[in-house]
Structure 1
Amino acid sequence: MTGQLIVGAVLLVVVAWLAACAEAGLARTTRFRAEEALRSGRRGAAKLMAVAEDPTRYLNVALLVRVASEVAAGAVVTYACVRAFDTTWEALVIAIGVMVLVSYVAVGVSPRTIGAQHPLSTATVAAHVLLPLARVMGPVPQLLILLGNALTPGKGFRKGPFASEAELRALVDLAEKESLIEDEERRMVHSVFELGDTLVREVMVPRTDLVTIERFKTIRQALTLALRSGYSRIPVTGESEDDIVGIVYLKDLARKTHISRDAEAELVSTAMRPAAFVPDTKNAGDLLREMQRERNHVAVVVDEYGGTAGIVTIEDILEEIVGEITDEYDQELPPVEELGEGRYRVTARLDIGDLGELYGLQLDDEDVETVGGLLAKRLGRVPIAGATARMPLPEEGPRPDLAGLRLTAESAAGRRNKIVTVLVEPVAAEEEAVQAEQPAE
């Protein structure tokens, strides 16, 4: 009887081993690989393609088979040990030791190594078994997932947590380390994931940076502004700069003046197009899909009070994935210019977190997000060229040699004389101590 139990336990472990192989192979087999195998005429590629169409479902089936086999093997081994030994505690200790060793080596390490080394072959073989098995099990795996979500605090995963974004990110990092993809490609894939968590207000052009034209201006004035600024789409304002009533396109202006020179004297409102409005809390990824579907390249962003917060274009969203896109009209300043001795010239729109990275610090502020905003907060007013403020740092921080950072507003530009660049200088702890010891005049 004991021999039969051992044989049964071994068979169950073999089934768990095969299910673990299937899990590892399917996790590393993409739909693209399945399509390549189908085009090359690989045997079993049709079934592999069917599994690749819904990988989560078949991963759940393989997981259920593995867990059930492991649990059953553990129960059989425990029963065999209880029959073979006189004392119960001795039987339990031996059963636990045997199953931990078997589960770790035979089900944990070995099959996953094989599945990772030969994912396509493993997934193809697994597809022959998982397809009919999934039909037999029906909705059982999904029902168990729903039960697990019901017992889990918070919101669960509808299809199960077995193929998460974190795992996909880890696979991308692993592919880059093994030189299967370039570092820029890895960054781009991570940016695609991050786009799903990005709000429109994080990528928009703020209202203070907009080039606008009043609706009572003429088409000739609008055409001149477009040619001088280099922008092909310009917001049209009504009663105030906060009231955007439409968008005028350079090609529409050129078309009207090309058809009739007299059109130059017409109002710009006759050539503008309706503006699309989106809330600043909208997801950037969702907005990109909407703009593609509606063939709209620019939208006006409104804040929670209904005021104009800025505008966002398809280019702004795409730059979150591929990086900065510049053309012959863009005059982009470098975000960071190193000046030596720990001094940097940065743009006023540089993120505070990026500034902290320059000095090995973690900077954060609940009220502002940019260096220009931080300078204005420390000053308590709108900064002008030459204005200086100091940002203190905690003494027990990662840089005890630094007492703070000195921020100096430099160049100003635009109709509002807005600060463009800020000079950042470290304030050494020794310098701070010397200044504190000097008597006040």
Structure 2
Amino acid sequence: MTTSLLLAVVGLVLLAWLASCAEAGLARITAYRAEEAVLNGRRGAALLTTVAADPVRYLNLALLLRVAAESAAAVLVAYTCLAYFDSTWQALAVAFAVMLLVSFVAVGVSPRTIGRQHPVNTTTAAAYVLVPLARVLGPLTQLLILLGNALTPGKGFRKGPFASEAELRAMVDLAERHQLIEDDERRMVHSVFELGDTMVREVMVPRTDLVSISREKTIRQSLTLALRSGFSRIPVTGESDDDIVGIVYLKDLAGRVHTSRTAESELVEAAMRPATFVPDTKNAGDLLREMQRDHSHVAVVIDEYGGTAGLITIEDILEEIVGEITDEYDRELPPVEELGEGRYRVTARLDLGDLGELFDITLHDEDVETVGGLLAKELGRVPIPGATVEAPLAEGPADQGLRALRLTAESQAGRRNKIITILVEPLLRPPADTGDPASEHGQDRPREHTPRAADHSATD
């Protein structure tokens, strides 16, 4: 009888060993590895693909088998020790020590090491048992998970907590601390996880920053706008800026003009392509896969009311993973460059307060905080190189005070071709308008000026 019990214990420990090995392999298997096994004609690749498609289901089953085998082995060892030793406490102590050693070494360390070193082999072997067994014991694991969630305070995990995203994130951080991966790689992996929780509206280019063209414009005008703005894909609008009817590509415009010079006078709608529309609540990761599948690089984002919320491209989504994408023309610029005669070249990000200090005034606006924002606000549209606007200033007590600041958009850079430098020139009031007796009492104090609404002319 004792021999039979020992053989049963060995069999249960072996089952627990295999289940633990399968757990470790399942945690490292991916759909890519499964597809690679299919392409290589590996035996059992079809079952491996089935497991990789729903790894959590089979991971829960492997966990159930391991726990059941360990528990049964512990009961049999305890029963054997009770029959062998006269003292109950002595028998339980020996049983505890034996199972502790077996669980840690034979079920914990050894199989997990093998599973991590050879995930494809172990998972393929386990698939022959787990796939048919899941049809029988699958409902049981789900029932046990529901029972565990019912006993857990708060909201539980529908598929169980055994393969959570938090554990994978912790593994990535641990790998970086042990110098197995670089810090940039760790951050990229975390970005991939975060992409699954990112909505399209969080990464899109908002409608206020879009450079668009009316469908009534000609191909020549569209080509000019594309070359001046630096964008290769431009939305085409219908009745209003909120009505996007298509997307025009620079290569399509150039192709038409190259084929026939008379095509320059055709309307841009003749060269535009249909636009793809997506809701602003769509998952960014799902959209990336759809754009890859449909060979689409740009999509129009609509809000809950059906209006245009913005535009999103594949590059916008990829930037959420790899960071800002720049080109060889990007360079670090000083925030302020003095050009003489009271003129300055400043970056678009320069704060309005810092700009005011250059001209000894207090510059403030309730709607914007940067020079680039002020330029766009006064212009009334997205600025492109050459766009000029006069930002009027409130009158102040000075003999020759400032009437306005002339802002001229200069260079652009980055994948989105944003304006990065702006030329700022002071415009003085005529001498007849600056005579103010009160100015004699405040020559040395900074004059407070605020931009005020006024008609202005702007050129693109």
Aligned residues: 351
CA distance in 2, matches of 1:24, 1:229: 53
Residue pairs, 1:285-296, within 5 angstroms = 285-296=285-296
| 1:225 aligned residue | 225
Contact 2:216 2:268 (8 Å CA) reproduced: yes
2:51 corresponds to which letter in structure 1? D
Of residues 137-146 and 176-185 in structure 1, the stretch that sits farther from structure 2 once superposed is 176-185
SS state of the match for residue 139, structure 1?
helix
1:145 matched to 2:141? The reply is: yes
Contact 1:298 1:314 (8 Å CA) reproduced: yes
Q: Any gaps of 5 or more consecutive residues in structure 2?
A: 336-345, 351-363, 374-405, 411-417, 422-460
After TM superposition, give the deviation of residue 218 of structure 1 in Å. Answer: 2.9
Of residues 110, 121, 129 in structure 2, which corresponds to 1:133?
129
CA distance in 2, matches of 1:227, 1:319: 24
SS state of the match for residue 23, structure 1?
helix
Residue pairs, 1:47-62, within 5 angstroms = 47=44, 50-51=47-48, 53-55=50-52, 56=55, 59-62=59-62
| 1:383 aligned residue | 369
After TM superposition, give the deviation of residue 25 of structure 1 in Å. Answer: 4.2
Superposition CA RMSD, Å = 4.4
Would the alpha carbon gap of residues 174 and 52 (structure 1) be closer, same or farther in structure 2, given more than 3 Å must change?
farther
Would the alpha carbon gap of residues 420 and 34 (structure 1) be closer, same or farther in structure 2, given more than 3 Å must change?
closer
CA distance in 2, matches of 1:37, 1:304: 44
After TM superposition, give the deviation of residue 182 of structure 1 in Å. Answer: 5.3
Would the alpha carbon gap of residues 247 and 414 (structure 1) be closer, same or farther in structure 2, given more than 3 Å must change?
farther
CA distance in 1, matches of 2:162, 2:169: 14
Would the alpha carbon gap of residues 296 and 82 (structure 1) be closer, same or farther in structure 2, given more than 3 Å must change?
same
2:273 corresponds to which letter in structure 1? R
CA distance in 2, matches of 1:347, 1:191: 28
SS state of the match for residue 300, structure 1?
strand
1:46 matched to 2:66? The reply is: no
Would the alpha carbon gap of residues 37 and 382 (structure 1) be closer, same or farther in structure 2, given more than 3 Å must change?
closer
Residue pairs, 1:326-365, within 5 angstroms = 326-327=326-327
Would the alpha carbon gap of residues 79 and 32 (structure 1) be closer, same or farther in structure 2, given more than 3 Å must change?
same
| 2:211 aligned residue | 211
Map Cα deviations across residues 365-402 of structure 1 (whole Å, 9 max, x no partner).
xxxxxxxxxxxxx9753335499xxxxxxxxxxxxxxx
CA distance in 2, matches of 1:165, 1:302: 30
After TM superposition, give the deviation of residue 348 of structure 1 in Å. Answer: 5.4
Map Cα deviations across residues 177-226 of structure 1 (whole Å, 9 max, x no partner).
67666554554444333322221112111222211223333332221111
Map Cα deviations across residues 312-368 of structure 1 (whole Å, 9 max, x no partner).
11221222233333457x75778x99xxxxxxx99859xxxxxxxxxxxxxxxxxxx
Of residues 297-306 and 96-105 in structure 1, the stretch that sits farther from structure 2 once superposed is 96-105
Contact 1:333 1:347 (8 Å CA) reproduced: no
CA distance in 1, matches of 2:7, 2:106: 15
Instruction: From the CA coordinates, give the structure whose radius of gyration is larger.
Output: 2
Would the alpha carbon gap of residues 147 and 182 (structure 1) be closer, same or farther in structure 2, given more than 3 Å must change?
same
Residue pairs, 1:354-433, within 5 angstroms = 380-383=366-369, 385=371
| 1:268 aligned residue | 268
TM-score, normalised to structure 1, is: 0.63
After TM superposition, give the deviation of residue 175 of structure 1 in Å. Answer: 5.9
After TM superposition, give the deviation of residue 138 of structure 1 in Å. Answer: 5.1
Contact 2:298 2:312 (8 Å CA) reproduced: yes
TM-score, normalised to structure 2, is: 0.61
Would the alpha carbon gap of residues 180 and 48 (structure 1) be closer, same or farther in structure 2, given more than 3 Å must change?
farther
CA distance in 1, matches of 2:408, 2:279: 29
After TM superposition, give the deviation of residue 300 of structure 1 in Å. Answer: 1.6
Of residues 70-79 and 165-174 in structure 1, the stretch that sits farther from structure 2 once superposed is 165-174
